[in-house]
Chain A
Amino acid sequence: MNINKSFKMIKLDVSSLPAPEPMTKIIQSLALLTKQQFLQVHHRREPFPLYEKLTTAGWQYCCQQQTEESFIIYIYQRPMHQQVMSLMANS
């Protein structure tokens, strides 16, 4: 799904994986992202241990709780911030 001409969202569903597989999948996906891509993760819980390291590694993130057991986390680079915010506002 294109947010604008340049940025592309990569979807990743880790909601049915046992710990610690969700984090493995997220890191593997982040390693494969190009500068024009960002990640949308569907998780069963809020992955708190991931957050601080994401910030240290220069990533930005946003989490949207849909239900008690459904969280959408966007992980992106700083230039994509506005696009991700507008995507969240529209969802």
Chain B
Amino acid sequence: MSDMSFNALPPIDIPFRFFVTAIAFMMGLAVFVFWTGESLWLSRWHPSMLALTHGFTLGFITPVMMGALLQMLPVVAGVGLNNVQSIGRFCYPVHFIGTGLLMWGFVAVEPMQYSIKILAIICLGLSFTYYIFSIVRAIIQYSSQQLHKSIVSHNPTVMIIGYSILALFITVILGIIIQMQSAGFMLLPTIYSDKALTNIHALWGGIGWIALLILAVSLQVIPMFHVAPSFPPFSAKLIPVILLLSLINMLIFPHLVEPALNVLLVMFLLFNFVLLHVISRRKRKIPDMSINAWRLAAYALSAIVVLYYFPEHWLPEIVIAKKSLLLSAAFLYFYLLTIILGMLCKILPFLSYTHLQQRCLTNFDGMKFLPNMHDLLNKKSAGILFYCHVFTGASLMVTVINPQFYLFFSGLLMIEFSVFFTIILKTCLVYRSSSLKIKQIDNGVVDVNLI
């Protein structure tokens, strides 16, 4: 109803600053890979590898999802964050500073290492606390609106966003505990060995926070952008609950990580089959980078599961030695990153267009200056980005097996994210130019009858 209060979409520059900096961070990571050399690839426990993994997850994936969530909640649930400016002013810089410090802390020498890590934990802890608190408040606001309207059935996307925020909270806590334990403060019983705790931290972060959030977003994005049918209720409601319960199970019973991981993999595989089925039933079957990305990610996940269960005696020795690193790298690059790139290629032009379009409601003449969606992000550039991503991912797999190829991966990573940086820069410029023209009409500077 008209009298119900909804928060406006947040200013476009807030999510965009998360996106742009995350892309620039990846260019920095390419330099890091170049600088650290072959030793980085020796093991997943190598300090430089830990720095690189946190660079990928905290420097790119997490800020992109943090930025996207600021826009997702108003679009799917009609609730926004009234402190979004503070998130932009506080969480955004403090998060990136904390991530940089954490990476430095991993590779720094012993006496200095602890001070840097403590600073990193303070920055990331404060930033995440403020962000999580803000999102939880918006979800509570949504729930009370639903109660006000006497709606019992909640939007599954909002519920899953809630689960993923819980997972983010637990991931952060586990991360802090791991760092404190490495500094000699034993906080948990001995059953939580360093390696078990690190694995649980990685699974809560990779599957609980990121993959669950991606699942939530896909429920909205695929039907919305591709005119596909909605996901069946079991995949939208039941699978996320099972995923969350499996994660909780491995947190309480760390010796049962393996069976819980089996459940997680089977559930994700099931969701991917549903996703491929939903995509195949879309009404608009036009070539699209985003669809290619969803498909690639689904096939990659299937391949990851096959490799995970593949009898080891049939695998070459070098693959057996690097299996866990190979699986983690494939999951990170070919599953999570592929979906995020595909999603961003839809979200960037959509957000820009929606923000411009909304302003035309108060002045219809402004519609003359609305750019075409393809002007904001053209299909050819998106296609180039997709192929760059495939080649970079392939070079990552080769580098994991044979670290001599690290220069190859570093170069391709730099190319991929330079292409992406150019794309987002162009989107920003087209947005700005159209925005200025609409503003001139609003101010009466331009007479539309003369155009």
Contacts and interface: CB of A to CB of B under 8 A. Distances in A.
A69 B230 contact: yes
Contacts of A90: none
B217 to A, nearest CB: 13
B362 A48 contact: no
B353 A20 contact: yes
Interface in A58-91: 59-63, 68-69
A49 B9 contact: yes
A20 to B, nearest CB: 5
Interface stretch (B71-79, B163-171, B177-185, B296-304): B71-79
Given A48-B74, A56-B362, A19 B357 contact: no
Given A56-B362, A62-B2, A20 B367 contact: no
Q: Is the interface of B mostly helix, strand, loop or mixed?
A: helix
Contacts of B360: 27
B364 A19 contact: no
B234 to A, nearest CB: 15
A46 B78 CA distance: 9
B78 A51 contact: yes
B224 A24 contact: no
B445 interface: no
A18 B364 CA distance: 22
B2 A48 contact: no
Q: Which one of A17, A20, A46, A62 has the highest number of Cβ atoms from chain B below 10 Å of its Cβ? A: A20
A28 B367 contact: yes
B76 A48 contact: yes
B228 to A, nearest CB: 9
A55 B2 contact: yes
Contact of A17 (B2, B227, B358): B227
Nearest to B373: A20
Interface in B323-369: 350, 353-354, 357-362, 364, 367
B362 A57 contact: yes
Nearest to B353: A20
Nearest to A76: B2
Interface string B1-37: 1101011110000000000000000000000000000
B227 A16 contact: yes
B223 A44 contact: yes
A48 B78 contact: yes
B357 A52 contact: no
A27 B357 contact: yes
Nearest to A32: B364
A14 to B, nearest CB: 11
Interface in B39-75: 74-75
A23 B224 CA distance: 12
A9 interface: no
A23 B225 contact: no
A27 B361 CA distance: 7
Contacts of B367: 27-28, 31
* 9 closest residue pairs by CB, A with B: A48-B78, A31-B364, A53-B361, A57-B361, A53-B358, A57-B362, A60-B2, A19-B224, A52-B8
Interface of A: 16-20, 23-24, 27-28, 30-31, 44-46, 48-57, 59-63, 68-69
23 contacts: A16-B227, A19-B224, A20-B373, A27-B357, A27-B360, A30-B361, A45-B224, A48-B6, A48-B77, A49-B75, A50-B358, A50-B361, A53-B8, A53-B361, A54-B361, A55-B2, A56-B361, A57-B362, A61-B1, A61-B2, A62-B2, A68-B230, A69-B230
Given A44-B223, A57-B361, A61-B2, 10 more contacts: A18-B225, A20-B353, A20-B354, A23-B354, A27-B360, A49-B74, A53-B361, A54-B2, A56-B361, A62-B2
